[in-house]
Structure 1
Amino acid sequence: MADTWTAIDFETANQDRGSACAVGLVRVVDGRPVERHSTLIRPPDPVRHFSHHNVAVHGITAADVAHAPAWDAVWRRILDFADGGALVAHNAPFDMGVVRRACAHTGLGHPAIDYACTLALSRRTWRALADHRLPTVCAHIGHRVTRHHRADADAEAAARIMIAAMSEHGTTSLAELSRAAGLRLGRLDAVTAPTPVAAPSPVGPAADRFDHWRRAAETPMPQACPDADPSGPLFGRTVCLSGDLAAMDKPEAWRRVAEAGGHPARNVTRTTDVLVVGSHAGVGKTAKHRRAETYRERGQRIDIITEAELLSRLGMTGA
């Protein structure tokens, strides 16, 4: 029986996972790419705004997607293209989060979907690399990424990484590769009637700063994903954020830390392992930053890192 799977990559319009604005797909059969598809997407109405940060990353604007197909049509196409096979993505929990929230925003269900993460796989396969971001891994395997953050290019890159990892481990299927690398396939559980999700306020210079603080304060802390890669740099570590991040708001950063197996925390305590220092409107260091330095002076091991270093540890664009 043929080993068939589909590499996938989403781009989003803003910090909400459900704001899909582009998707790239590469269908692979027995280790060979056989079909490709990509399209822009008109994001679901509740999250249709484009943030300046996301536009700066992928270059897609609201005008570009004005006449693009809506999520419901694109989602049917994705399901037809994958034809029941597993999905593969670099930092797959993010892409599976896009599916989950875009379907919730539009009242659509989805079947159970098996998926594999080439970020986690790369950490197990090429441990000596300085980092395991998509361009770094592709450079190592000899695949040139010329348009990083274009959905079609990044889906192609994820497919090439998976194929290279199969060759490295001497396997011929996703199931065999997962066992050889000591990773199990992830699974997005089926949903028939999604619970509507609240859409965040737009992020940008005109956004109400107090509203973002209030929303962060009201957001429950996500739990660490038990299926995350144990060899990841944030797995099992308690991570606190200080100040504002340029790439995402705090709830999104907390979700990404939890997906990596970390424990997001609101405050610096004796259990804190990592403090991420962002920007802030005040002068000097924040109270969290000063508290972390005090704990370090007393012998506690706390990494104090920048936003770029956090992005790198998450396998995103960064240091």
Structure 2
Amino acid sequence: MVNFNGNILEEEHAISINNRGLNYGDALFETIKATHGKLLFWEDHYFRLMASMRILRMEIPMSFTMEFLNEQIVELLNRNNLLNKTVRVKLFINRKEGGLYLPDTNNVDYLITVKPLESDFYLLDETTCQVDLFKDYFVSPSLLSTLKTNNKVLHVVGSIFAKENNLQNCFVLNTDKHVVEALNGNIFIVKDHVIKTPPLEDGCLKGIMRKQIIEIIQSMPEYSLEESSISPFELQKADEIFITNVIVGIQPVTGYRKKIYKNELSKGLLQKLNVKIRLTN
């Protein structure tokens, strides 16, 4: 079951062939982790969504309060018997049907889908995560590249490239040949006691988990955080690299080409992340 504009429907009845997200990529989405009916980092997701809708000149309905959208998600969890589970929630917003490149209206539809996950907490995945650079196409840095839109062809092709080359992920470059993100999350590199992550100006996604990890690192006096451009050369010199997103939390990178990495900081950060969640939810 899905929630389409407040109506609980079977999946096959939710999207028409004229959907503007389907036809023109005229859509945004938020991927949210919910645990036992509680939406993790919901305020951050909500405000990112509102800011993104404004940037794309979508009309924000008066009903789109934090409370309303939370209620719509929880109702869908209840109807799918998932209130006592940990779930991936996808909140999809598209401009209503009509028009070609120029839409007939800036009003929006919303669609919510849910899918169960295995663990209530963020767990450290110590399985192999071998990465390389994906250099076929590049991110053009702009405000649009920081948004979570459904224009993800580069990441789809990059994921196919990774699979064909027995890789678990790839790093994406921008047009200045700086490393900006992984295929499915933001990246952090560690060298001695300095932790670097690409700045939004380089074109990386304005990730919700990126924000949480930055806040945790800033509370750790033994480390300094830099939001600055990362060259591919720095990957070889790093002591540790990890990828962040709201579903897995922190994914340590085990290897890049012939380089092997540690994961001590990833373990510590993951513990602090789970503590932060218990204290705030």
Same fold at TM > 0.5? no
Higher strand share: 2
- TM-score, with normalisation over the residues of structure 1? 0.28
Higher helix share: 1
